[in-house]
């Protein structure tokens, strides 16, 4: 009897230890010298928070060289036992790394994460996945990859979660149409900071269209479903842009081949909950500031019984727009009343900087899946997160947008 009890005790202890073992993380792109560092702004606050560090442990850094990784380790006051890597193949072969998190420039995503992905490691890649759709297919094999995360965190933002809840409640009835007007106003009109000068080069794959618009259209699709067909038009309104240094001075002027205006309209496929059927979605995105004194983001969803309007200071509902109020209002067509739809952060998210709060939700959902034995297949909606195969779908849509642009030229 004593032996049985002891055996059960050992099994229970083993399960608890397995469950509570942190997910061992390698950060790719946490740099001391980077001109922009989403790794430091979007990822590090959660990973080093009490809640994050109870589920994750940073065990390695990967940069352009071992000395660069060592400098980052010292700069961000990480423990001396955090390993430093300069070769992605060496990182991929480290058995003590569970999750590789890539926050580098988009044209290095494939080379930085490909070896780890092929080695079977879990991989978190920031958006955009890679430079274009063909490279996305080459990296993923167009397969379902449960053991991955793509940085399309807008899908789990509190605004998106609240909109999905309102639509499911039936308060506005069947969705008839939706309209989005968004501005990429974190940047200046016709100007790029020195650290983002590559936004002027379409070949790199990271620019206002693929990043700001890409995030926006993705969380819109998360609420309303995908296009069944669409037409688009893009335009380069300012073919010459100024590159601005940290001190605000103009460094140079250069030509750009990246459009700064995009309009899209199309038919939405029938939604899962039958609330969207034969509806029209139209989106307009423009780089730079909006008309002075007006919102930088307006999204309306028109239904049979009412209409929802979301307003924010810019297109960045997935990250930066929360520095100013984001409002959701509902116009009830039956009563003709306009009411506020309240939303809020989880208490634990309020302890983090705005920019990292929604990224943290991705980490939370992934950790829950990891603890629960990494089940395959679809999860309950409140436990799901976007993965690399979801990114391939969005890359294909952007590929079609640029294909239509090339045809127009």
Can you state the angle between helices 133-140 and 109-118, rounded to 10 degrees? 20
Please tell me the distance from the alpha carbon of residue 294 to that of residue 317, in angstroms, as a whole number: 16
pLDDT bracket for residue 3 (50, 70, 90): very low
Dihedral angle, C-alpha 388, 130, 364, 300, nearest 10 °: -90
CATH 3.30.360.10 residue spans of the chain: 155-344
What Å distances lie between residue 355 and 37, 72, 186, 275, 322, CA to CA? 12, 21, 13, 32, 8
3-state SS, residue 227 = strand
155-344 is a CATH 3.30.360.10 domain: yes
Of the two residues 189 and 363, the one the predictor is more confident about is 363
- Cβ neighbours, 10 Å, residue 190: 16
3-state SS, residue 108 = helix
CATH 3.40.50.720 residue spans of the chain: 11-151
Q: Are 110 and 130 in contact (CB under 8 A)?
A: yes
Of 357, 323, 328, residue with least CA distance to 342: 328
Residue 254 pLDDT > 80, yes or no?
A: yes
What Å distances lie between residue 73 and 47, 58, 70, 78, 115, CA to CA? 14, 10, 5, 5, 23
DSSP string, 148-181: EEES-GGGGSHHHHHHHHHHHHTTT-SEEEEEEE
Q: Are 321 and 297 in contact (CB under 8 A)?
A: yes
pLDDT, average across residues 322-340 = 97
What Å distances lie between residue 304 and 167, 224, 328, 349, 386, CA to CA? 11, 15, 18, 35, 30
Q: Are 309 and 321 in contact (CB under 8 A)?
A: no
- Cβ neighbours, 10 Å, residue 112: 21
pLDDT bracket for residue 69 (50, 70, 90): very high
Please tell me the distance from the alpha carbon of residue 57 to that of residue 98, in angstroms, as a whole number: 10
Radius of gyration for the chain, computed over Cα atoms and rounded to the nearest angstrom: 22
The verdict on whether omega for the bond into residue 134 sits within 30 degrees of 0, i.e. cis, is: no
Residue 24 pLDDT > 90, yes or no?
A: yes
pLDDT number for residue 34: 63
Q: Quick one: DSSP state of residue 188?
A: B
pLDDT number for residue 215: 98
Edge-to-edge, what's the strand order for the sheet holding 240-244? Answer: 191-193, 240-244, 250-255
Take residue 245 and report the two structure tokens written for it. 């240094």
The CATH class that applies to domain 11-151 reads: alpha beta
Take residue 27 and report the two structure tokens written for it. 């950060």
pLDDT number for residue 376: 92
Take residue 375 and report the two structure tokens written for it. 């089940």
Residue 343 pLDDT > 80, yes or no?
A: yes
Residue 354 pLDDT > 50, yes or no?
A: yes
Residue 18 pLDDT > 60, yes or no?
A: no
Can you state the angle between helices 133-140 and 388-408, rounded to 10 degrees? 160
pLDDT number for residue 247: 85
* Mode of pairing for the β-strands spanning 148-150 and 276-287: unpaired
């Amino acid at each position: 009897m004593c032996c049985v009890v002891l055996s059960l005790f050992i099994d229970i202890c083993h399960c608890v230890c397995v469950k509570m073992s942190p997910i061992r993380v390698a950060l790719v792109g946490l740099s001391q010298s980077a001109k922009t560092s989403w790794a430091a702004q979007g990822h590090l606050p959660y990973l080093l928070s009490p809640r994050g560090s109870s589920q994750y442990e940073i065990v390695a850094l990967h940069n352009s060289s071992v000395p660069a990784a060592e400098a980052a380790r010292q700069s961000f006051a990480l423990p001396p036992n955090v390993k430093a890597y300069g070769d992605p193949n060496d990182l991929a072969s480290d058995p003590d790394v569970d999750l590789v998190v890539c926050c580098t420039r988009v044209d290095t995503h494939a080379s930085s994460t490909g070896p780890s992905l092929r080695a079977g490691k879990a991989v978190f890649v920031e958006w955009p996945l890679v430079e274009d759709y063909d490279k996305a297919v080459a990296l993923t094999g167009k397969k379902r990859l449960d053991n991955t995360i793509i940085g399309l965190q807008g899908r789990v933002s509190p605004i998106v979660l609240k909109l999905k809840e309102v639509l499911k409640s039936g308060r506005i009835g069947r969705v008839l149409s939706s309209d989005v007007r968004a501005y990429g106003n974190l940047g200046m009109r016709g100007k790029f900071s020195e650290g983002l000068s590559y936004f002027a080069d379409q070949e790199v794959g990271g620019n206002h269209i693929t990043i700001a618009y890409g995030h926006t259209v993705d969380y819109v699709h998360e609420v309303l479903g995908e296009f069944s067909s669409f037409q688009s038009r893009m335009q380069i309104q300012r073919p010459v842009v100024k590159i601005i240094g940290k001190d605000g001075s103009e460094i140079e002027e250069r030509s750009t081949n990246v459009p700064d205006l995009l309009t899209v309209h199309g038919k939405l496929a029938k939604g899962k909950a039958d609330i969207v059927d034969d509806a029209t979605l139209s989106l307009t995105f423009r780089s730079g500031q909006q008309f002075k004194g007006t919102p930088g983001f307006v999204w309306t969803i028109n239904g049979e019984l009412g209409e929802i309007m979301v307003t924010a200071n810019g297109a960045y509902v997935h990250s930066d727009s929360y520095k100013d109020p984001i409002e959701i209002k509902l116009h009830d067509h039956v009563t003709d009343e306009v009411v506020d739809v309240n939303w809020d952060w989880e208490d634990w998210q309020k302890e983090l900087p705005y920019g990292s709060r929604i990224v943290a939700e991705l980490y939370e959902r992934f950790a829950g899946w990891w603890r629960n034995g990494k089940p395959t297949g679809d999860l309950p909606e409140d436990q799901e997160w976007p993965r690399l195969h979801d990114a391939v779908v969005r890359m294909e849509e952007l590929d079609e947008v640029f294909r239509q642009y090339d045809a127009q030229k």
